[in-house]
Amino acid sequence: MPEVGVDAARACLVIGLVITALAYRRTRVASGGAVTGSYLSFLVLTGNWEDIVGWLLLALVGLAAMRVVCTRFPMSRAWAYYVGILVPAALHVALVSLAQLPALSGLSAMLVAGLYVTNGLTAYDMHRQGVGRTLLAVAGVTALTLAVVVPLNAVMLAISLTPETLPYFTAHEPLLILLCIAVSAGVHLGLGLGTAGIIGSLFVIEILTWQSILMLVIVSWVGAVIARRATRVLALSPRQRLYAILVVGSIASWFGLYWLDRLGIPGAQFHSVFGVETLLVVGLLISENVRLGAARAYGGAAIVTAVTAAVDWSSGQELPLRGAVVAAAILLVAALFWLGARSQQDLWRRAIVAGDRWAVLGDTDQRRFLRGGDLP
């Protein structure tokens, strides 16, 4: 595998985010998730071609799942989004688990392909704007990112700016990742809260000291205050706002936390725990803070992190205790999805009642009724 330094990998993320944002602004075509171009560029850079094939196959699985569900039920975009993420993630986990069997150990490179969420993000964009347009956008962003990162990585290695190499595979067990995604989906669909970017809690539990958590909250809260004001001035669309926040948040995390650590600020050292994940988590927390408000963003993230940390802690315990913790987490997920389903059914009921009572209903009145208000 070709050598890729930590700073080169971080640069790959940031440059990919910038190109993704600029490409969307120019073409209004999303590229399969904000970080997908960066991720695929890193796979090309490290020669993991099997993983790219796996990413595409799992994305198509997610697309098929979304189309099956959405053609049978009037699903909201949030539900369709999580169907597209959960189905390929569950298949991914199953294949990774099978690859751990001695007879299939040689297939692990193919079966662990792709990030657990990136496949679903690509599937969602495919469902929304078409397979061809999405893949063309992904290919364009990946190619442009590589055009910048390949020579940059060569220069960094030549002058020894990046002596460390970035660990490629996640250190978390597949079941923990799937439960984290499922809890995140349940918290969002059932309670309407934030999730720390769906899998952000997997990174938060690795820095679980009160100083680091406090620093993460402060940095993301300050970033959210700035982002709210900038959004009003720049008149950005929701997707453009997400891209802008991720770009600025990743750069601020990369350099800001580095210098805070150098200055001896307690809690800032967590920037060095991960290669690229810290850059993403800060931006995702800022985005959720802007979109949902601080209470809902941090409250939901706290729930997901607490459940994820409990399941992670149970992995070192005896089987009965571990089974009880995992079972409790599964029951919590089921309860959250039940709450979300009840809310979805209520929305269907109100739409049916509105259709029966009013042949023609103005857009304003219809929106008010569907959100729980009274009809005129």
Residue-wise pLDDT tens digits, 204-221: 777 756 777 787 888 888
Averaged confidence pLDDT in the chain: 79
Confidence grade of residue 60 (pLDDT, cut at 50, 70, 90): very high
Q: Are 276 and 9 in contact (CB under 8 A)?
A: yes
* 254 vs 327: which has the higher pLDDT: 327
pLDDT at 12 over 70: yes
- Please give the pLDDT value at position 304: 92
pLDDT at 64 over 90: yes
pLDDT at 249 over 60: yes
Average confidence (pLDDT) over 346-357: 72
| pTM score of the predicted model | 0.82
CA atoms of 274 and 168, how far apart (whole Å) = 11
- Please give the pLDDT value at position 369: 55
- Please give the pLDDT value at position 104: 45
pLDDT at 343 over 80: yes
